[in-house]
Structure 1
Amino acid sequence: MRVTNNMMLSKTTGNINSNKESVSYLNNQMSSQKKIDRPSEDPVIAIRALRLRSSLSEINQYYDNNIPDAESWLNTTETAIKNMKNILTDIRTQCVNGANDSLTADDRNTILKQLQALREQVYSEGNADYAGRTVFTGYRTNSNLTFMTDEDETTYTIDQTIDYRSIQENRYYTGQVTVPTSAAGIGTGATTNPTEAVFDRIRLPYSDITGGIKGKDNAGNEKLYSTNGDTFKMSYTANGATTPTDFAVTLYDTMDDWAQGAGGTHTVDANKAVFIKETGELILGKNLSSKMKDDYATIDMTYQKTGFDKGELRPEYYFNCTYRKNPTATDTVEYKKYDDNGKEIAQDINYIVAAGQTLTVNMNGSDVFDASIGRDVDELVNAVQAAIDANNKVSTIEDMMKEEQYAGFKDELQSWLDAAKKEADYADDNMQKLYNTYIGNFDGYLKQVNLAYTTIGSKGTRLDLTKNRVENQQTTIEELKSSNEDKELSDVIIDYTAAYNAYDASLQAASYLNKTSLLNYL
């Protein structure tokens, strides 16, 4: 076969181009440090790269966004619960102090000031928010757990189920002394006789139930009763029973109305009850209370309240209720806390923190901030204030007895002093017993808060474990991705040097190609 110069030139040119392509390809690898530039160069590497990049993007979303967001939410919740625990601990400490039977006037004033300051903080932690979203209000993260301002017209009709465990003993007083301010006012002696009455009661989470409470007339028709002196029927359901048991109720606006309606003292028929709108209490007769306890009773109560103070809990986070802008508004909003079977409707806010793993980061306010805490603190404040006032009356009358202008009224003032001391003894005794009882109440609230604190802590621990696992996955996927896509620079340099040498040699070989031809031999 005859080999011509053109054939040699064509072959040499092809080899030079091939070597140049290799140099160019390796030069691109050296600058990008990637194995391939286009999927067509190696489809296997390309497909594996897409899968690894997709997995890494998903893991980065968990690690860089979802997990930090969940951590911040849990940290905000944990801080609020911890603060609530400190508040309850401080209130319990004041209960211990108040249960002391040898308090001085300064002691009472100190307890009063401490409790008044703590009362303002009781539910404030329930409005804790993360990035503008409140953490204790379920799905309604744009709303607060409490009323932020006084709302005089806001009206709620509240449905609440209460069982026999809510029945508690309470003391009621009449005949408080009004200290005379002049000789004419002293008269022939004290005109009042302080008395004490002890009854069992069911206390609602709210006072000032201005709209009234639902009851039945003799025909069994239900309606809201709100007029002072109204009489109606309510009912409770015994454990396991299908037919409710009716009992008679008399409604009063205030404690004074109750005393006046009962002949000047607080009395309740043994088989009946009274409801006080002012205090939101259903006060039970002795026999009725015993029967309800024996029957493990449950009462479905419906009542209407208009007007809420700043700091009070919003009913929709605790009960099934209906909201109205004012008592006569026709537009309503219904809120459901429980379903028809009495089961709480979950409002879980879940974060996907890893593939196939979700974490509920929120906690309902009702799981931390018991609706009775505020009422308990109010009663503690009222009890110590009553003790302060009663003892001040004693001091005032004793000072009057030392004044010359009242020298002729010693016997009359002694009568006033005896009445004031009786009131002070009742007030001190009530304060001591109430504070001693409420130590147990706040132990229960602290137990509830500690449980919530433990729950949040366990969620944080789970999230930390998940974060470590996702971090390890992230590192592993990044290593696999790098191994699949990246080229070691040292390897590229070696290959590039070899390719460049081959390219250089091909150029040198081509330079000698046409120096000798057939004509040199002719």
Structure 2
Amino acid sequence: MRVTNKMIMNNASSNINTTKEFVNKRNTQMTSQKKIDRPSDDPVIAVRSLRLSTTLAQVTQYHEKNIPDASQWISVTETALINMRNIGNDCKQIAVAGSSDPKNTQDDRKTMLKQLQELQKQLFAEGNADYANRTVFTGYRTNCNLTFTEDELNTEYEITQTIAIEGNMEDHRYYDGNVEVPTTEGELLAPSLDTTDPNYKNISDIVQTNYYRLRLNYDKVGDLTKDIDIKINDTTFNADDYNVITYESEAKWSEAQGGKNVPEKTMILIKETGDFILSNDTAEVLKKGDAQLTFTYERKGFTEGELRPEYYYNCVKTADPLDVHVPVTYTKYNEAGERIHFDIEYTIAASQTVAINTEAADVFDSSIYRDVTEMIDACQRAISAFDKVKTLEDMASESQYASDEDQEWIKIWKDAAQKEFDFYNDNMQKLFNTEIGKIDAYYGKMNLAIADLGCKKDSLDLTKTRVGDQQQTVQSLQSLNDDIDLSKIIIDYTAAYTAYQASLTAAGKLGESTLLNYI
């Protein structure tokens, strides 16, 4: 075969380009320290690199974002619950002091009253705890507060609340009668103890009656908008056979019934207090049948700190001056009466999720607020009754009431006031003693929720350690697949560059010889 000069020059040029490509490739590898620059360089390495990169991105998301975010959310929730538990513990200490010490002074009662009022203000403030502007107790509605943050006197809801007799029906004391302390001698001498006298007034007429009651979770309620739905196990209960009467206040109840009495087969709703009072025969039937009662009632006007009903009940917001979308329906229970949960779940590892949120309905409700309100009311009644006794004692020492008749009437009035104080002070002590057990139940519920959060945090810590190890493993595999050893590539680059220089030199030598050299 005849080899021409042109063929030699073409081969030399091709060899130069080939060695130059090797130099360029090695230069790129040395600069990037990667085995390939594009998928076509090595499809196997490219596919494996893509898979490892995807896995690493997922693991990094779990380790660097999801797990820390979930852990912080749980920490905020835990702190809020601990604070609420501490508030509950403070209320318990007050209840213990008020129920166990018969020598409590008026100053002691006023101190307890002040403490309870302040604790009540703080009680649900923790319920609005948020993480990164997302409230932690409100389920999916993380952009909304759990409580009313200001008075909303024109906001109105229709609330449906189901109450089980078991654990909720309680014996409650009701008091009728009120000593109105005279302020003048004429008022002091006005009553007559003769029952036939038109001026007869039994000034010692305070009476205690006990009835079973169910307490709605809101006071100052409106009318019942639907018939009470009653479900009873193994007992027939025809609600039409029972009379449901609604009164605005306990005073209206007393006035209508001639005292705080509940006739047979009667259920009474006191709007002011939210008490649903049962006659003895009605209470017996409902208790025997382990009944559940469903009330649908109106509530207009909410004060700062009260819980929003949509987080606890099926309800309809029927009026709100600040919301153009009313009416708005909220569903918390399905048709079977089962609660609908709004869990916020974080993916913290492959095929592993954790529900990070604790819903307020799982831990606390308005019954805590109502209990503190009743403690405040009982304390205020005892304080007011004692003030009446003190006022009459002061009257007895005044010169204008020095006559024997005045002193005798002051004693009669004082005995009545003392009776009223004894009733209310006894009620305060008994109520505080009852509240100790209730607070313990709330305390236990919060402890359980806090323990559950602690378990979740421990699980997150273990998962974080495992995912961190996985992240390092994937990074090592990706580096082994993608990266090239720098010392090796330097050697390869040097060899390629030497070959390139040699090809240039050889080509240069070819150019020095022509056909004329042989003529």
TM-score over 0.5 for the pair: yes
Separation (CA, whole Å) in 1 of partners of 2:161 and 2:13: 95
Separation (CA, whole Å) in 1 of partners of 2:235 and 2:145: 39
Q: How far 1:249 moved relative to its partner?
A: 2.6
- 1:332-386 C-alpha deviation (Å, 9 max, x unpaired): 2222111111001122222222222222222221112222011100000011111
Please state whether the residue corresponding to 1:472 is helix, strand or coil.
helix
Amino acid at match of 2:499: A
Structure 2 residue aligned with 1:213? 224
From the superposition, tell whether residues 150 and 504 of structure 1 become closer, same or farther in structure 2 (CA, over 3 Å): same
From the superposition, tell whether residues 516 and 316 of structure 1 become closer, same or farther in structure 2 (CA, over 3 Å): closer
- 1:290-347 C-alpha deviation (Å, 9 max, x unpaired): 22222212212221222222221111111111221169x9952222111111001122
Structure 2 residue aligned with 1:389? 384
Structure 2 residue aligned with 1:22? 22
Separation (CA, whole Å) in 2 of partners of 1:45 and 1:468: 29
Separation (CA, whole Å) in 2 of partners of 1:433 and 1:191: 25
Q: How far 1:500 moved relative to its partner?
A: 2.4
Q: Does 1:324 align with 2:325?
A: no
Q: Does 1:493 align with 2:474?
A: no
Unaligned runs of 5+ in 1: 216-221, 223-233
- 1:444-495 C-alpha deviation (Å, 9 max, x unpaired): 1111111221222222222222222222222222221111111111111121
Please state whether the residue corresponding to 1:429 is helix, strand or coil.
helix
- Contact persistence 1:391–1:424 (CA under 8 A): yes
The partner residue of 2:454 within 453, 457, 460 is 457
Q: Does 1:276 align with 2:270?
A: yes
From the superposition, tell whether residues 326 and 11 of structure 1 become closer, same or farther in structure 2 (CA, over 3 Å): closer
Please state whether the residue corresponding to 1:359 is helix, strand or coil.
strand
From the superposition, tell whether residues 380 and 395 of structure 1 become closer, same or farther in structure 2 (CA, over 3 Å): same
Structure 2 residue aligned with 1:231? none
Please state whether the residue corresponding to 1:99 is helix, strand or coil.
helix
Please state whether the residue corresponding to 1:213 is helix, strand or coil.
coil
Separation (CA, whole Å) in 1 of partners of 2:421 and 2:204: 14
Amino acid at match of 1:176: N
Q: Does 1:313 align with 2:307?
A: yes
Q: Does 1:430 align with 2:442?
A: no
- Contact persistence 1:156–1:304 (CA under 8 A): yes
Q: How far 1:58 moved relative to its partner?
A: 2.5
Q: Does 1:402 align with 2:397?
A: yes
Separation (CA, whole Å) in 1 of partners of 2:400 and 2:116: 39
From the superposition, tell whether residues 330 and 69 of structure 1 become closer, same or farther in structure 2 (CA, over 3 Å): closer
Separation (CA, whole Å) in 2 of partners of 1:156 and 1:192: 42
Q: Does 1:203 align with 2:215?
A: yes
Amino acid at match of 2:479: S
- Contact persistence 2:204–2:415 (CA under 8 A): no
1:507-522 → structure 2 map (5 Å cutoff): 507-513=504-510
Q: How far 1:175 moved relative to its partner?
A: 1.8
From the superposition, tell whether residues 412 and 188 of structure 1 become closer, same or farther in structure 2 (CA, over 3 Å): farther
From the superposition, tell whether residues 74 and 253 of structure 1 become closer, same or farther in structure 2 (CA, over 3 Å): same
Separation (CA, whole Å) in 1 of partners of 2:291 and 2:395: 53
Amino acid at match of 2:174: Y
Amino acid at match of 1:299: L
Please state whether the residue corresponding to 1:52 is helix, strand or coil.
helix
Separation (CA, whole Å) in 2 of partners of 1:274 and 1:483: 79
1:5-84 → structure 2 map (5 Å cutoff): 8-84=8-84
Separation (CA, whole Å) in 2 of partners of 1:27 and 1:473: 33
1:443-482 → structure 2 map (5 Å cutoff): 443-482=440-479
Structure 1 residue aligned with 2:107? 106
Separation (CA, whole Å) in 2 of partners of 1:91 and 1:403: 40
Separation (CA, whole Å) in 1 of partners of 2:481 and 2:31: 17
Amino acid at match of 2:481: N
The partner residue of 1:343 within 321, 335, 338 is 338
The partner residue of 2:351 within 331, 350, 356 is 356
- Contact persistence 2:234–2:289 (CA under 8 A): no
Please state whether the residue corresponding to 2:144 is helix, strand or coil.
coil
Separation (CA, whole Å) in 1 of partners of 2:225 and 2:88: 34
- Contact persistence 1:324–1:330 (CA under 8 A): no
Moved more, 336-345 or 271-280: 271-280
Separation (CA, whole Å) in 1 of partners of 2:248 and 2:513: 127
Amino acid at match of 1:445: Y
Structure 2 residue aligned with 1:225? none
- 1:185-244 C-alpha deviation (Å, 9 max, x unpaired): 21156734222112111111111123x1256xxxxxx5xxxxxxxxxxx56332145654
Separation (CA, whole Å) in 2 of partners of 1:177 and 1:118: 31
Separation (CA, whole Å) in 2 of partners of 1:141 and 1:114: 32
Q: Percent identity?
A: 47
From the superposition, tell whether residues 256 and 515 of structure 1 become closer, same or farther in structure 2 (CA, over 3 Å): closer
Amino acid at match of 2:216: L
From the superposition, tell whether residues 112 and 331 of structure 1 become closer, same or farther in structure 2 (CA, over 3 Å): closer
- Contact persistence 1:338–1:345 (CA under 8 A): yes
Q: How far 1:113 moved relative to its partner?
A: 0.9
